[in-house]
Amino acid sequence: MTADTTSSEPGARTLFDHDPTALAELLASWKEPAFRGRQVLEWAYRHGVTSYDEMTNLPKGLRAKLAADAPLYESTIVRQQEASDRTVKLLLGWPDGTRSECVLIPDGTRRTACISTQVGCPVGCVFCASGLDGLQRQLTSGQIVEQAMRVRGLCGEDDRLSNVVFMGLGEPLANYEATVRAVRTINEAWGVGIGARKITVSTVGLPKQMRMLADEGLQITLALSLHAPTDELRRQIIPWAERVEIESLVEAANYFFQRTGREVTLEYILLGGLNDAPEHARQLASVSKRMRSNVNVLLYNPVEGLPYRRPTDANAERFVAIVAERGVNSHVRRSRGLDIDAACGQLRRREARLRGEA
Ligand code: SF4
């Protein structure tokens, strides 16, 4: 397995690609005073305006220059779906014709944005709609941040966006630079302003990049999609992880804990009849106990055209009970948005089919 750690989509850089230094440099090149940068960032992030015309204390000429050289939003909302549990899914269209998805998940007072890091996904987990089409391209850091801002725009005035999870389409650590830049912008007080501990990056497990992430000085949560407790079964479920052994993931997760003090969350998607036997639960507990981790069990959402099924509730409960009996902190995560195309990639695939592309 090789990981492309560069953002291969330079494209037009939007405002969301700029940190305060880059924006200051751009403004200085136009002989604009430094305070303009602070004004622009305040309008974009704190007030959430979607066009430079709304930045009323900026001269008109400057607004036009910024719109040309550092456009604000470059996506269009192609489709918006709301489930009965108030989960909202957005399908965004980018100027190059590609599309990606992001989701707002309300839960009590929590408002979580689930965002994508790539168009499509190279990993090809056998149970996943996104993996069926492979990777189309990397998203830029600005496009990743833009998704968080689009989802934030769905929150009502009294509902602040509280969490951001990098769990949409794609493997974040295979788009490493863009992902880390986006994490910083989402975290920074001048940016989206989400506390680091409320940001989760989910990976299928690239040991080298997990260690790099541990060294970034970020107090974020790392979620590791394990999905199987043995190398043999894991290779069946995640073919891309063919050359990654669980042992190397345990070592990388332990390094992450040493450097950040943050427990790793092991994600385990329960597939009926495949990885939900009591033996798997015992093996999972043993893997989990070799690192500082907790276990998050998800019940599979069936995907049209794929042969995998959802486990029964009884099997899922038994599975979690066995893991918990062994002293591992574990719980079942509720599926959200079942009445919309909520499994990752389903909305994008359906749209593509309608357009005759898949
Ligand atoms: S589950 Fe995640 S990592 Fe696996 S193919 Fe789907 S989007 Fe990629």
Q: What is the pLDDT of residue 133?
A: 77
What size, in residues, is the chain? Answer: 358
Determine the pLDDT at residue 8.
Answer: 36
pLDDT tier, 128 (very low <50, low <70, confident <90, very high otherwise): confident
Q: Fold identical between 19-69 and 76-354?
A: no
State the DSSP code for 335: P
| 171 ligand 1 Cβ < 6 A | yes
Pocket of ligand 1 contains residue 249 by CB under 6 Å: no
CA distance linking residue 116 with residue 118, whole number of Å: 6
Q: Given pLDDT bands bounded at 50, 70 and 90, which one contains residue 353? A: low
CA of 166 to the centre of ligand 1 (A): 11
pLDDT at 305: 83
Q: Of the listed 9, 74, 101, 171, which one is catalytic?
A: 101
Q: How far is the CA of 39 from the centre of ligand 1 (A)?
A: 39
Residue 266: burial class (beta carbons within 10 Å; 0-12, 13-18, 19+): buried
Residue nearest (by alpha carbon) to ligand 1 atom 4: 125
Domain range list for the chain = 19-69, 76-354
113: nearest Cα among 142, 83, 88: 88
pLDDT tens-digit profile of 220-262?
Answer: 999 999 999 999 999 999 998 888 999 999 999 999 999 999 9
Closest CA to 99 of 168, 2, 192: 168
Bridge-based pairing of strands 88-93 and 163-166 is unpaired
Atom of ligand 1 nearest to the CA of 131: 5
The rounded distance, in Å, linking the Cα atoms of 123 and 81 is 26
- Domain spanning 76-354, CATH class: alpha beta
Mean per-residue pLDDT of the chain: 90
Please, how many CA atoms are within 13 Å of residue 76, restricted to the half-sphere of its CB?
Answer: 6
Question: The whole model's pTM is what?
Answer: 0.92
Atom of ligand 1 nearest to the CA of 167: 2
What is the C-alpha separation between 314 and 174, in angstroms, rounded? 36
Alpha-carbon span 179 to 201, nearest angstrom: 9
Query: Residues 148-191: pLDDT tens digits?
Result: 999 999 997 778 999 999 999 899 999 999 999 999 999 999 99
CA distances from 153 to 131, 169, 323 (A): 28, 20, 39
* Ligand 1 center to 197 CA (angstroms): 23
Higher pLDDT, 339 or 37: 37
* CATH architecture of structural domain 19-69: Orthogonal Bundle (1.10)
Helix or strand (DSSP H, E) at 231: helix 231-237
Query: Does the annotation count 251 as an active-site position?
Result: no
- State the DSSP H helix or E strand holding residue 281, giving kind and residue range, or none if neither: helix 278-288
Ligand 1 touching residue 169 (CB < 6 A) = yes
pLDDT at 3 over 60: no
Q: What is the pLDDT of residue 263?
A: 96
344 as an active site residue: the answer is yes
Contacts (Cβ under 8 Å, ≥6 apart) of 353: none
